[in-house]
Amino acid sequence: MKIVADESVDQRIIDRVRLAGHEVVSIADAAPGVADEWVLKHASGMDTLLLTADKDFGELVYRQRLAHCGVILLRQAGLSISARCDAVVSVLGSHANELATAFTVIAPDSVRIRRPPHAEA
């Protein structure tokens, strides 16, 4: 699976996702400091999921209705880095067919996958 990781994603998560066989473009490496809108447009233009820990992407997707190919928001406070990595890799594996065009939230005790009302199926 191809993924764009926002600057807010811990490098150890990016490394673990790559180790699991996914292709990850890190914004921190490729284009540090760019605006969230640019990141979302870049991921969409590459036809990839966006992995982020920045809640501002919910605003861009739900309120501004910007195009995307799927966003995964990490809300994993209180979990060890190992548990955070495991959760992300698990969701990518077990929900791969559901993530495109969805807004997914990975929390300590849940995974919520929702399609914004304007998302294309």
What CATH number is given to the structural domain containing 36? 3.40.50
Measured distance CA(27)–CA(43) in Å, rounded: 10
Answer whether 86's CB lies under 8 Å from 55's CB: no
- 120 found inside a domain: no
Task: Using CB atoms within 10 Å of the CB of residue 67, give its burial: 0 to 12 exposed, 13 to 18 middle, 19+ buried.
Answer: middle
Residue 16 placed within a domain? yes
Integer Cα distance of 65 and 103 in angstroms:
12
Q: How many other CB atoms are there within 10 angstroms of residue 53's CB atom? A: 20
What residues contact 9, with CB distance under 8 A and at least 6 apart? 26, 51, 52, 53, 74
Could you list the mean pLDDT of each consecutive 10-residue stretch along the chain, which spans 121 residues?
97 98 96 95 96 96 93 96 97 96 96 80 45
pTM of the model: 0.93
Which pLDDT value is given to residue 10? 97
- Residue 121 inside a domain? The answer is no
Q: Give the pLDDT score at 52.
A: 98
Q: Is 15 domain-assigned?
A: yes
Domain that holds residue 93: 2-114
The structural domain count of the chain equals 1
| Half-sphere CA count of 51, side-chain side, radius 13 A | 29
Asked if residue 119 is part of any domain, the answer here is no
In a domain, 77, yes or no: yes
